[in-house]
Structure 1
Amino acid sequence: MARISVLDDDVALDEPTLIEGFPGVGLVGKIATDHLIDAHEMTHYANVHCDGLPPVTVYRESETAATTPVRLYADTENDLVALRSDVPVNPGAATEVAACLGSWFDEADLFPIFLSGIGREKDEAPPELYGIATGDGGEALGRAEVSEPSESGLVSGPTGAMLAAALEDGRDAVGLVVESDPQFPDPEAARVLIADGIDAIAEIETPTDGLVEQATEIRSAKRQLAEQMRQATEESSQAEPLKMFQ
């Protein structure tokens, strides 16, 4: 049965911003979301039980408590919610998961920021970031001065499905797309997502020095998940150019 199981009823949120972190190209959404949760010491707020999510259980080092692979964390001071996912979502289930989460977005009066990477070979230039929007989400992009796309493209995977649902339902939402390493976890791209996109839109301040200083450790920790994503790229949340179809 699809439901969001709240663990802490004392958490009070007022029209919060939600940061979505399903794994994708460069694992940028996951790295960014994990960092936000740690940097802001966010509380494990709820477990996500959506039809279509892999029927697995996860556990943490030095902890006996088992939990769901997709969870929600909250920061009441910054009115922030983060969706942390330890697993990819099968492409056939993306629409089902999007519908499950979308109904809760409406109930909780959330403003979602969806995160996606677009594969680009690394060079000396910093990763380019741009934004897209549904509903009145473009106003948030304008206030934050996030750039418009430099090319046509599409967003696929669970992130694309949630953006499609937001578009269909007329829900306000933002999608951030950042140039990312197509082969390996990309902490630098995740840093750009946070510093130039998420912080500006959510009006928060997040220290990001650790993402660069600990890049080697982060890549090593995320390597296994990145390999899973490469073996099943159709399950990945990603942006890609549309030039091939034009």
Structure 2
Amino acid sequence: MARISVIDDEISLDEPTLVEGFPGVGLVGKIATDHMIEAHEMVHYANVHCDGLPRVTVYREGNRALTTPVRLYVDEERDLVALRSDVPVNPGAATEVAGCLESWFTETATFPIFLSGLGREKDEAPPDLYGVATGSGGDALSRADIEDPPESGLISGPTGAMLAESLERGRDAVGLVVESDPQFPDPEAARVLIRKGIDPIAGTETTTEGLVDQATEIRDAKQAFAKQMQEATEESSQAEPLKMFQ
């Protein structure tokens, strides 16, 4: 049965802003959302039970209580909600999950910010951020000075399904698209999402120093991996004369 199971009834929400964090390209949405939950010390508010989500449970270090793999966290003071997902959603189930969450969005008059990564090969330039919208969500993009997309595109997966649901119902929503690494987790792109997209729209101020450190670590790890692959290729592909008659 699809439902949002609230575990903290004392929390009161007044037309909150929601940041969606389903895993995608570069894991940018998940990284950004997880970081905001930690930075703002958001509290576990509800478990998400939707048809189409994997039937698994999650446990945390030092805590014996099981939870669902998709959960909602709240910062009541900032009227901010974050959707944290520890599992990817099968593309075939994206519509079911979107419909399940849409009913809760309607009940709570939630303004959602959907996050997605656009796979691009990385260079020294910071990743670009673009915005799309449904309903009057474009007003929020204008206030935050977020650029329109420079090319046509398609958003798929659960994020695309939820945007499609918003479009069909005429709901106000925005989608943020950031250029991100197509192969590796990309905390640098997640940082751009937060600083240039989420914070200006939601009216929050989020420290992102930890994401800078993660970006450096991942960049170093990728360089080391590339070097290992190059060395392995040199060892396995190198041709040498046998010199058996010398």
Question: What amino acid maps onto 2:90 in structure 1?
Answer: N
SS of the aligned residue for 1:153 comes to: coil
Match of 2:101 in 1: 101
Match of 1:197 in 2: 197
The structure having more radius of gyration, on CA atoms, is 2
Q: Aligned residue pairs: how many? A: 220
1:24 aligns with 2:40: no
Match of 2:215 in 1: 215
* Correspondence list, 1:94-243, <5 A: 94-215=94-215
SS of the aligned residue for 1:20 comes to: strand
Taking structure 2 as the reference length, what is the TM-score of the superposition? 0.87
SS of the aligned residue for 2:63 comes to: coil
SS of the aligned residue for 1:104 comes to: helix
Question: What amino acid maps onto 1:89 in structure 2?
Answer: V
**Partner Cα distance (1:3, 1:191) in 2:** 31
Match of 2:65 in 1: 65
**Partner Cα distance (2:219, 2:6) in 1:** 32
1:61, distance to aligned residue in structure 2 (A)? 1.6
Question: What amino acid maps onto 2:103 in structure 1?
Answer: S
- Decide whether aligned partners of structure 1 residues 2 and 215 sit closer, same or farther in structure 2, where only a CA change above 3 A counts: same
RMSD of aligned alpha carbons: 1.3
- Decide whether aligned partners of structure 1 residues 10 and 57 sit closer, same or farther in structure 2, where only a CA change above 3 A counts: same
Higher relative contact order (CA 8 A, sep 6+): 1
**Partner Cα distance (1:219, 1:75) in 2:** 32
What do residues 112-159 of structure 1 show as CA deviations (whole Å, max 9, x unaligned)?
000000000000100000000000000000000001101110100000
1:199, distance to aligned residue in structure 2 (A)? 0.1
Match of 1:50 in 2: 50
**Partner Cα distance (1:172, 1:151) in 2:** 23
5+ long unaligned stretches in structure 1: 221-246
Q: Tell me the percent identity.
A: 79
1:111, distance to aligned residue in structure 2 (A)? 0.0
Question: What amino acid maps onto 2:134 in structure 1?
Answer: T
CA contact (8 A) 1:19 1:114 kept: yes
1:214, distance to aligned residue in structure 2 (A)? 3.0
**Partner Cα distance (1:62, 1:214) in 2:** 24
**Partner Cα distance (2:217, 2:27) in 1:** 14
**Partner Cα distance (1:218, 1:71) in 2:** 27
**Partner Cα distance (1:126, 1:118) in 2:** 13
What do residues 32-86 of structure 1 show as CA deviations (whole Å, max 9, x unaligned)?
0000000000000000000110000011122211100000000011110000000
5+ long unaligned stretches in structure 2: 221-246
SS of the aligned residue for 2:122 comes to: coil
CA contact (8 A) 1:127 1:178 kept: yes
Question: What amino acid maps onto 2:50 in structure 1?
Answer: C
1:215, distance to aligned residue in structure 2 (A)? 3.0
Taking structure 1 as the reference length, what is the TM-score of the superposition? 0.87
